[in-house]
Chains A and B, each alone.
Chain A
Amino acid sequence: MTVVPAQRRSSISRRLTWMNMVVSGAGLLLAFSASIAYELWTSRDVTIRNLAIQADIIGSNSVSALTFNDPAAAQTTLQALSDAPHIASAGIYTAEGQLFAGYSRNADAVSLPAPSIPPGETQVARFDGRLMGVARRVTFEGKPIGLVYIRSDLREVYGRLLRYAATAGVILLASLIAALMASRLSQRAISVPIVQLAETVQSVSHNHDYAVRATPSGGADEVRVLEDAFNEMLATIQQHQQELQKAHDHLEERVRMRTQELNTANKELEAFSYSVSHDLRAPLRHITGFSALLEQRAGSTLDDDSRRYLKTIVSASTRMGRLIDDLLAFSRLGRANVTKARVSLRDLVDQARAEVSSQAGDRQVVWRVAPSLPDVHADPNLLQLALVNLLSNALKYTGTRQLAEIDVGIHPNGQDRVVLFVRDNGVGFDMQYAGKLFGVFQRLHGTDEFEGTGIGLANVRRIIRRHGGDVWADAEVDRGATFYLSLPVEG
Chain B
Amino acid sequence: VAKAVDLRYVSTLIACLLGGAAGFGAVRVVAAQQNPPSEHDVQAAYLYNFGRFVEWPAGAIPQDRFAVCVLGADPFGKTLDGVLDGLSIGGRRVVARRMATSDAASGCQILFISASEEKQLYATLESLKSRSILTVSDIPQFAQRGGMIQFVTVANRVRFEINLARAQQAGLAIRSDLLKVALVVRKDSRPGE
Which residues of chain B are within 8 angstroms of A28 by Cβ–Cβ distance? none
Kindly provide the distance from the CB of B46 to the nearest chain A CB, expressed in whole angstroms. 6
| Contact status B5-A125, CB under 8 Å | yes
**Does B31 lie within 8 Å of A64, measured CB to CB?**
no
On chain B, the residues within 8 Å of A176 by CB distance are none
Which of A61, A67, A115 makes the CB contact (< 8 A) with B52?
A67
Residues of A within 8 A of B (CB): 45, 48, 61, 63-65, 67-70, 73, 96, 98-99, 110-113, 115, 124-128, 140-141
Inter-chain CA distance A98–B46, complex, in Å, is 20
Q: Are the C-beta atoms of A68 and B46 separated by less than 8 Å?
A: yes
A486 vs chain B, min Cβ distance (A): 104
Write out the residue numbers on chain B whose beta carbons fall within 8 Å of the beta carbon of A48.
5
Given contacts A48-B5, A67-B181, A70-B159, 12 further A-B contacts (CB under 8 A): A61-B177, A63-B177, A68-B159, A68-B181, A69-B157, A69-B158, A124-B8, A125-B8, A125-B9, A127-B9, A128-B13, A128-B16
Known: A64-B181, A125-B5. A110 touches B27 (CB 8 A): yes
- State the CA gap A430–B21 with chains docked (Å): 120
B12 at the interface (CB under 8 A from A): yes
B170 interface residue (CB < 8 Å to A): no
Chain B residues with Cβ under 8 A from A111's Cβ? 27
Q: In chain B between 153 and 177, which residues have their CB closer than 8 angstroms to a CB of chain A?
A: 157-160, 175, 177
- In the complex, what residues of B have CB within 8 A of residue A110's CB? 27-28
Contact A67 B49 (CB under 8 A): yes
**Residues on the B chain within 8 Å of A73, using CB:** 180-181
- Interchain CB contact under 8 A, B52 and A70: no
Decide if the interface of chain B is mainly helix, strand, loop or mixed: helix
**Given A65-B180, A98-B30, residue A140 in contact with residue B8 (CB < 8 A):** no
Cα-based distance from A110 to B175 in the complex (angstroms): 34
Looking at the complex, which one of B2, B12, B28 makes contact with A115 (CB distance below 8 Å)? B12
Bits for B1-27, please: 1 = Cβ < 8 Å to A, else 0: 010010011001100100000000011
- Among the interface residues B30, B46, B180, which one has the most CB atoms of the partner chain A within 10 A? B180
Q: How far is the CA of A449 from the CA of B16 in the complex (A)?
A: 132
Contacts of B175 in A (CB 8 A): 64
Please state if A64 and B5 are interface contacts (CB–CB under 8 Å).
Answer: no
A–B pairs, 27, beta carbons within 8 Å? A45-B2, A48-B5, A64-B53, A64-B175, A65-B181, A67-B49, A67-B52, A68-B46, A68-B178, A68-B181, A69-B157, A69-B158, A70-B159, A70-B181, A98-B31, A99-B30, A110-B27, A110-B28, A113-B26, A113-B27, A115-B12, A124-B8, A125-B9, A126-B8, A127-B9, A128-B16, A140-B52
